[in-house]
Amino acid sequence: MTVHFKQDEPDTRNLLDQGSQGVIGTAMSRPEGLAKVTGTAPYSAEYRFDDCLVGVLVTAPFTKGRITGIDKETALAMDGVVAVIDDSRMTARPAQGGAGEAPQQSPRQICYYGQPFALVVATSFEKARHAAKHLPFSYEADDVSDIPLDPETAETEAGDGGMQAGDLAHAMATAEHAVDVSYTTMGHASAAMEPHAAIAQWDGGRLTVHASLQMPNYNISELADALDLTEDKVRIVSRYVGGGFGSKLGLSEETTAAALAAMELGKPVKVVMSRQQVFQSIMRRSESSQRVRLAVDAEGRLTGFGHEARVSNLPGEEFAEPVLQSSAFLYAGENRLLALDVARIHQMTAGSVRAPGEAIGMPVLEAAMDCLAEEAGIDPVELRLRNIPEKDPGKGLPFTTHELADCLKKGAEAFGWDSGPRKPRQNRDGEWWIGTGMASAARVHNVAEAKARVTLNADGTARVQSDMTDIGTGTYAILTQIAAEMLGLDPANVMVELGDTDFPRGPGSGGSWGAVSIGSAVVIACDAIRQSLAKKAGIDADDLKLKDGKLQGSQPRSLSELLDGGNMSEEGHYEPGDISDDYTSSSFGAFFAQVRVNRHTGETRVDRMLGAFGFGRVLNEKTARSQCLGGMVWCIGSALTEALHFDPVDGHLVNCDLAEYHVPVHRDVPDLEVMLVESRDPAASAVQGKGVGELGMCGGAGAIANAVYNACGARLFEFPMTPDKVLADMPD
Amino acid sequence: MKPFDLQRADSLTHASQLCSERNAKPIGGGANLVDLLKLEVERPDRLVDINRLPIAGIERMDDGGLRIGALASNTAVAVDDDVRSQWPVLSRAILAGATQQLRNRATTGGNLCQRTRCYYFTNIDQPCNKRAPGSGCGAIDGVARLHAVLGTSDQCIATYPGDMAVALSALDAQVEIASANDRHRTVPVREFHRLPGDTPWKDNVLEQGEVITAVTLPKPVSGRQIYRKVRERSSYAFALVSVAAIIDMADGLITRADLAFGGLAHKPWHDPRIAEALIGKSPHEALFDKAADILLEDAQGYGENDFKIPLALRTLKAVLAEATGVQL
Ligand SMILES: Cc1cc2nc3c(=O)[nH]c(=O)nc-3n(C[C@H](O)[C@H](O)[C@H](O)COP(=O)(O)OP(=O)(O)OC[C@H]3O[C@@H](n4cnc5c(N)ncnc54)[C@H](O)[C@@H]3O)c2cc1C
Ligand code: SF4
pTM of the model as a whole: 0.98
- Sequential DSSP letters for B160-197: ---SHHHHHHHTT-EEEEEEGGGEEEEEEHHHHB---T
Strand ranges, E, within A78-115:
81-85, 109-110
Instruction: Please tell me the predicted confidence (pLDDT) of residue B180.
Output: 80
Ligand 2 touching residue B130 (CB < 6 A): yes
A533: enclosing H helix or E strand: helix A514-537
Ligand 2 touching residue B146 (CB < 6 A): no
Chain B residue with minimal CA distance to A132? B1
ipTM over cut 0.90: yes
Q: Which residues contact B16 (CB under 8 A, 6 or more apart)?
A: B178, B179, B180, B181, B182, B209, B210, B211
**Of A581, A596, A622, the domain-final residue:** A581
Instruction: Please tell me the predicted confidence (pLDDT) of residue A230.
Output: 98
**Of A223, A247, A282, the domain-final residue:** A282
Ligand 1 touching residue B263 (CB < 6 A): no
What phi and psi, each to the nearest 5 degrees, are found at residue B15? -60, -50
**What are B290-314's pLDDT values in tens digits?**
999 999 999 999 999 999 999 999 9
How do strand A557-558 and strand A432-444 relate by DSSP bridges? unpaired
For A604, other C-beta atoms within 10 Å of its C-beta total: 31
Which ligand is closest in space to the CA of residue B109? 1
User: Rounded to whole angstroms, how far apart are CA atoms A528 and A487?
Assistant: 11
Domain co-membership, A461 together with A599: no
Q: Is residue A687 part of a domain?
A: yes
Domain co-membership, A233 together with A380: no
* DSSP state, residue A54: E
**Of A581, A604, A629, the domain-final residue:** A581
How do strand A163-165 and strand B58-60 relate by DSSP bridges? unpaired
Amino acid (1-letter code) at residue A490: D
Ligand 1 touching residue B175 (CB < 6 A): no
Instruction: Please tell me the predicted confidence (pLDDT) of residue B157.
Output: 98
Domain co-membership, A214 together with A116: yes
> Residue A439 pairs with which residues in a beta bridge?
A591
Ligand 1 touching residue B229 (CB < 6 A): no
Q: Is residue A83 part of a domain?
A: yes
Instruction: Please tell me the predicted confidence (pLDDT) of residue A554.
Output: 82
Domain co-membership, A558 together with A679: no
Which mutation among B121, B159, B194, B305 tests ligand 2's pocket best, with the greatest number of atoms within 8 A of CB?
B121
pLDDT > 90? residue A462: yes
- Residue A130 with chain B: CB contacts under 8 Å: 1-3
Q: Do B307 and A662 lie within an 8 Å CB cutoff?
A: no
Ligand 2 touching residue B128 (CB < 6 A): yes
- Sequential DSSP letters for B138-162: TTTTS--TT--SSS--SS-------
The answer to whether A404 touches A681, Cβ cutoff 8 Å, is: no
Instruction: Please tell me the predicted confidence (pLDDT) of residue A531.
Output: 96
Q: Does A124 touch chain B (CB under 8 A)?
A: no
pLDDT > 90? residue A174: yes
Residue of B300, B226, B307, B328 whose CA lies nearest to A602: B307
Which ligand is closest in space to the CA of residue A647? 2
User: Rounded to whole angstroms, how far apart are CA atoms B91 and A120?
Assistant: 46
Q: Does B327 touch chain A (CB under 8 A)?
A: no
pLDDT > 90? residue A555: no
Domain co-membership, A478 together with A419: no
Chain A residue with minimal CA distance to B142? A647
Chain A residue with minimal CA distance to B305? A724
pLDDT > 90? residue B182: no
User: Rounded to whole angstroms, how far apart are CA atoms B310 and A603?
Assistant: 14
CB half-sphere exposure, B111, CA atoms < 13 A: 34
Instruction: Please tell me the predicted confidence (pLDDT) of residue A551.
Output: 94
Q: Does B141 touch chain A (CB under 8 A)?
A: yes
pLDDT > 90? residue B181: no
Distance A123 CA to ligand 2 centre (A): 36
Amino acid (1-letter code) at residue A187: G
User: Rounded to whole angstroms, how far apart are CA atoms A638 and B232?
Assistant: 12
Q: Does A654 touch chain B (CB under 8 A)?
A: yes
Domain co-membership, A105 together with A228: yes
Q: Does B2 touch chain A (CB under 8 A)?
A: yes
pLDDT > 90? residue A435: yes
Distance A110 CA to ligand 2 centre (A): 27
Distance B132 CA to ligand 2 centre (A): 10
User: Rounded to whole angstroms, how far apart are CA atoms A334 and A164?
Assistant: 10
Residue of B78, B76, B57 whose CA lies nearest to B68: B57
Q: Does B3 touch chain A (CB under 8 A)?
A: yes
Domain co-membership, A381 together with A488: no
Q: What is the CATH number of the domain that holds A479?
A: 3.30.365.10
Q: How many CB pairs under 8 A join A and B?
A: 85
pLDDT band at B263 (very low <50, low <70, confident <90, very high): very high
Find the domain containing A49 and state its range.
44-145+191-282
> B224-324: which CATH number, 3.40.50.920, 3.30.70.20, 3.40.190.10, 3.30.390.50?
3.30.390.50
What phi and psi, each to the nearest 5 degrees, are found at residue A374? -65, -45
pLDDT > 90? residue A492: yes
> Residue A719 pairs with which residues in a beta bridge?
A185
User: What angle, rounded to 10 degrees, do the helices at A621-640 and A358-376 form?
Assistant: 70
Q: Which residues contact B57 (CB under 8 A, 6 or more apart)?
A: B67, B69, B72
User: Rounded to whole angstroms, how far apart are CA atoms A470 and A245?
Assistant: 12
pLDDT band at A599 (very low <50, low <70, confident <90, very high): very high
| Ligand 2 atom with least separation from CA of B118 | 4
Q: Which of A113, A276, A600 to mutate to test the interface with B (most CBs of B within 10 A)?
A: A600
Residue of B234, B236, B229 whose CA lies nearest to A606: B234
Distance A557 CA to ligand 1 centre (A): 69
Q: Do A601 and B311 lie within an 8 Å CB cutoff?
A: yes
**Known catalytic membership, residue A321:** no
Instruction: Please tell me the predicted confidence (pLDDT) of residue B222.
Output: 97
Domain co-membership, A460 together with A556: yes
Q: Which of B232, B288, B317 to mutate to test the interface with A (most CBs of A within 10 A)?
A: B232
User: What CATH number belongs to B5-49?
Assistant: 3.30.43
Which residue puts its alpha carbon closest to atom 8 of ligand 2?
A: B128
pLDDT > 90? residue A100: yes
Instruction: Please tell me the predicted confidence (pLDDT) of residue A684.
Output: 97
Q: Is residue A377 part of a domain?
A: yes
The alpha-carbon gap from A704 to the nearest alpha carbon of chain B, in Å, equals 15
Strand ranges, E, within chain B:
5-8, 24-27, 46-49, 58-60, 66-69, 174-179, 183-188, 211-217, 224-230, 241-250, 253-262
State how many domains chain A has: 3
Which ligand is closest in space to the CA of residue B105? 1
Q: What mean pLDDT value characterizes chain A?
A: 97
- Sequential DSSP letters for B25-45: EEESS-TTHHHHHHTTS---S
- Sequential DSSP letters for A354-398: SSTTHHHHHHHHHHHHHHHHHHHT--HHHHHHHT--SB-TTT-PB
Q: What is the mean pLDDT of residues A512-534?
A: 97
User: Rounded to whole angstroms, how far apart are CA atoms B284 and B276?
Assistant: 16
Instruction: Please tell me the predicted confidence (pLDDT) of residue A313.
Output: 98
Which ligand is closest in space to the CA of residue A654? 2
Q: Do A727 and B230 lie within an 8 Å CB cutoff?
A: no
User: Rounded to whole angstroms, how far apart are CA atoms A62 and A34?
Assistant: 45
Q: Is residue A598 part of a domain?
A: yes
3-state helix, strand and coil shares in percent for chain A, rounded to the nearest 5? 30, 25, 45
Q: What is the mean pLDDT of residues A559-586?
A: 95
A613-627 burial code (b ≥16 CB/10 A, e <16): bbbbbbbbeebbbbb
**What are B201-243's pLDDT values in tens digits?**
999 999 999 999 999 999 999 999 999 999 999 999 999 999 9
For B190, other C-beta atoms within 10 Å of its C-beta total: 21
User: Rounded to whole angstroms, how far apart are CA atoms B51 and B9?
Assistant: 8
Instruction: Please tell me the predicted confidence (pLDDT) of residue B183.
Output: 86
- Residue B117 with chain A: CB contacts under 8 Å: 659-660
Domain co-membership, A140 together with A27: no
The alpha-carbon gap from B261 to the nearest alpha carbon of chain A, in Å, equals 15
Is A550 in a helix, a strand, or coil? strand
- Residue B138 with chain A: CB contacts under 8 Å: 647, 649
Q: What is the mean pLDDT of residues A310-329?
A: 97
Instruction: Please tell me the predicted confidence (pLDDT) of residue B284.
Output: 97
Q: Does B46 touch chain A (CB under 8 A)?
A: no
Q: Does A699 touch chain B (CB under 8 A)?
A: no
Is B257 in a helix, a strand, or coil? strand
Is A633 in a helix, a strand, or coil? helix
**What are A621-646's pLDDT values in tens digits?**
999 999 999 999 999 999 999 999 99
Domain co-membership, A408 together with A501: no
Ligand 1 touching residue B164 (CB < 6 A): yes
Domain co-membership, A612 together with A519: no
Nearest to A667 among B119, B235, B328 (CB): B235
Q: What is the 3-state secondary structure (H, E, C) of A514-529?
A: HHHHHHHHHHHHHHHH
Q: Does A150 touch chain B (CB under 8 A)?
A: no
Long-range contacts, B271-275 (Cβ 8 Å, 24+): B271/B295
Distance B193 CA to ligand 1 centre (A): 14
- Residue A636 with chain B: CB contacts under 8 Å: none
Q: Is residue A183 part of a domain?
A: no
pLDDT > 90? residue A732: no
- Residue A647 with chain B: CB contacts under 8 Å: 126, 138, 142-143
Instruction: Please tell me the predicted confidence (pLDDT) of residue A242.
Output: 96
B282-291 burial code (b ≥16 CB/10 A, e <16): ebeeebbeeb
User: Rounded to whole angstroms, how far apart are CA atoms A53 and A516?
Assistant: 39
Ligand 1 touching residue B72 (CB < 6 A): no
The alpha-carbon gap from A596 to the nearest alpha carbon of chain B, in Å, equals 13
Q: What is the mean pLDDT of residues A76-101?
A: 98
Instruction: Please tell me the predicted confidence (pLDDT) of residue A403.
Output: 98
Q: Do B235 and A665 lie within an 8 Å CB cutoff?
A: yes
Length of chain B, please?
328
Q: What is the mean pLDDT of residues B70-98?
A: 98
Residue of A699, A67, A75 whose CA lies nearest to A361: A699
A628: enclosing H helix or E strand: helix A621-640
User: What angle, rounded to 10 degrees, do the helices at A253-265 and A216-227 form?
Assistant: 50
Q: What is the mean pLDDT of residues B168-192?
A: 95
Q: Which of A149, A433, A652 to mutate to test the interface with B (most CBs of B within 10 A)?
A: A652
Provide the residue ranges of all domains of chain B, joining segments of one domain with +.
5-49, 224-324
pLDDT > 90? residue A419: yes
Domain co-membership, A621 together with A695: yes
pLDDT band at A398 (very low <50, low <70, confident <90, very high): very high
Distance B161 CA to ligand 2 centre (A): 13
Nearest to B310 among A126, A648, A727 (CB): A727
Q: Do A645 and B125 lie within an 8 Å CB cutoff?
A: no
Nearest to B311 among A648, A649, A727 (CB): A727
Q: Is residue A275 part of a domain?
A: yes
**What are B119-147's pLDDT values in tens digits?**
999 999 999 999 999 999 999 999 999 99
Distance B228 CA to ligand 1 centre (A): 20
The answer to whether A365 touches A348, Cβ cutoff 8 Å, is: no
Q: What is the mean pLDDT of residues A337-359?
A: 98
pLDDT band at B22 (very low <50, low <70, confident <90, very high): confident
Catalytic position from the list A222, A321, A575, A694: A694
Chain B residue with minimal CA distance to A275? B39
